[in-house]
Chain A
Amino acid sequence: MHQLYEFVSGPLAWIAWTVFIVGSLTRVVVLVTSTIEKDPVVVNYFSLKHALRSMVIWSIPFFPRSSRLNPVMTVVSFTFHICVILVPLFALGHIVLWEEFFGISFWALPDRITDIMTLMVIFGLIFFIIRRFSLKEVKYVSSWSDYMLPLLILAPFVTGYAAFHGWFNPQLMLILHIFSGEVLLMAIPFTRLVHMVFAPFTRAYTASEFGAVRHAKDW
């Protein structure tokens, strides 16, 4: 067990971070360079002002009409995305790791808040899975991978919650937590989770076309 712990929290952690960072950067570099080469319109009509304006507006819940039409989805989606990013970055247990591995220390979320936010993530994922099953327009376009991805995200949050509260075998839970977190990290550049990396680019391009060329709003 101890050796397993050493492995997941040592070499595998470095591998996961390397795959995540190098993988994501490669995808961005390939996207940008191939766009310059093959899709020059995207570059020629790019407008930073309109890109930033659109990103700000789409970051405000209930501002775009799309988000007003789906209030439940908007609330769940915003909560989920905020929590799914903040919890891994600022959970107290992780702050220690940041310091240990990278020598950087910053402010941590209180445990109670981390707990609630973890539950929000879990709730959000369950909501997304149910939505995928029950809304026919979502079910129609879903493949097996669309059902698997939420489970992939669910794993580190459920095991982390269990480990923190000392459920089952806390040591095993911790190992599973670290392992599933690493798998998730490595999956980001190679699955649809890449939307985390690509979203600013697709948004910026559409915003430029709508705003700078066609003088219309895109929200």
Chain B
Amino acid sequence: MNYRTTEDIGLITGAKNLTAEKIRSAVHKVFSKEAGPRLKAYYNTCVRCGLCSQACHYFLSMDNDPSFSPVGKVKQTVWELLDPGKRITPDFIVNAAQIAYTECNLCRRCSMYCPFGIDTAYMITLVRRLCHLLGVTPQYIQDTAHSHASTMNQMWIKEDEWIDSLQWQEDEARDELPMLRIPIEKNGAEIFYSVIGPEPKFRSQLIYQAAVIMNVAQVDWTMPATPGWDNSDMAMYVGDYELMGRMKKIHFETALRLKCKKIVMGECGHAFRSVYDTGSRWLGWKEPPVPIIHAVQFYWDLLNEGKIRVGKKFEQPVTFHDPCNIVRGMGLHEKARDLVRAFCRDFVEMHPNREHNYCCCAGGGVINCGPPHKKTRVLGNKIKADQLRATGVPVVIAPCHNCHGGLEDILHHYKVDMQIKFLGDIIYECIDKTSVE
């Protein structure tokens, strides 16, 4: 057990409703019925060599504290839950929830350092699933899951507010490009563009920028007016897979209703994991029913098909942060670098990079667990600040929303003077817009 419990009202009040019987039946449901052979193979194969430790930014940043190593976190949670002789108390569940939701980003870096390729992230998601079934979840992330359940988006955005945000951004952008459109509900458009809830809520300039890029590239695109526009997924990270399935279904069905050929999604990592991998699998699809590509891939295609051109180079030296869900999750690291090199004059690699890059410590739903856990994730990623500082450049490009949130806090706390940009920020600023002027 670790004894660094932070006060989270969701965990504390959730634990009050637990009984021995509830715990026993939920543990049985998750660890004996839902999970099985893969978990047992991992449990039996792990030789406790500790080689995964060096992969984890928490472990490295917390002065090599073994309770923060991947296997250390599994020992405190999964191994105990698999022990038939162990009496699982409500306090144990609170501690397990804290470890699973706030001390692991599910970034899967540790799988690459395990000689057996054991998927620790998978085991941690089982703990989250258990905590969800028991109703012991951090308050803030649970709130986003409630929002998903009632509005089908992450940020309690009502339908009219969504449409209004799109029209507002269209209006704004028409000052710059008078013929610009954000086509809503266009049947048979080639591309269905989906974003995450936070974009209309507080990063609406990204919708503006995407619209400019789409219009410059003269892409046949649309955005829906109905729920199903949000591709984000905190239900996946809470462990509420039933809700995850509902959300992914409405997202894909909206694209199908509009008869679009392809879904393009904004620069978000976890949403990509959900739509490409976890969510569509839960619905029983081996491949997503509509081809889905991440913004990095989309921009790369546009550049290589000659639909967008470099107007000017971004002058400041930049470095690139590889987000786990689109690099270890989709291998987009080289395409992202092609874009960075095309649009920026001076590109400096951070080390380690590509699949081996250190996590932002915000993803996996960790930043969504809110203020009670901020200290853990900031102190748990000192190594990222060191890695960024060592590049000596003033700009880091990160094509993922969660990475932005995490890196911002880390740069601020460790006083690293750096700006964070999306690839879309750079492309919007530097592309040749003469085609629509």
Contact = CB atoms under 8 A, between A and B. Distances in A.
A30 B41 CA distance: 11
Contact of A54 (B36, B48, B117, B355): B117
B46 A192 contact: yes
Contacts of A194: 44-45
A201 B355 CA distance: 22
Nearest to A41: B281
B401 to A, nearest CB: 20
Contacts of A104: none
Contact of A35 (B37, B55, B59): B37
A166 B69 CA distance: 46
Interface string A128-168: 00001001111111110010000000000000000000000
Contact of B37 (A38, A70, A192): A38
A135 B50 contact: yes
Nearest to B55: A66
B327 A195 contact: no
Given A58-B115, A202-B42, A202-B116, A216 B355 contact: yes
B277 to A, nearest CB: 7
A31 B44 CA distance: 11
B62 to A, nearest CB: 11
Chain B, interface residues (CB within 8 Å), range: 35 or more
Contacts of B117: 54, 202-203, 205-207, 210, 218
Nearest to A138: B50
Given A198-B44, A214-B329, A34 B116 contact: no
Interface in B5-24: none
Interface string B37-65: 11011101111111101110001000010
Contacts of B44: 192, 194-195, 198
B391 interface: no
B116 A137 contact: no
A49 interface: no
B49 A138 contact: yes
Interface in A25-76: 30-31, 34-35, 38-39, 41-42, 44-45, 54, 58, 64-66, 69-70, 73
Which 3 residue pairs spanning A and B have beta carbons closest together? Answer: A206-B117, A215-B331, A140-B66
21 contacts: A35-B38, A38-B36, A41-B281, A65-B112, A65-B352, A66-B51, A66-B54, A66-B55, A132-B48, A137-B64, A137-B66, A140-B69, A140-B72, A141-B48, A192-B45, A192-B48, A198-B116, A202-B42, A203-B116, A206-B117, A216-B331
Interface of A: 30-31, 34-35, 38-39, 41-42, 44-45, 54, 58, 64-66, 69-70, 73, 132, 135-143, 146, 192, 194-195, 198-199, 201-203, 205-207, 209-210, 213-219
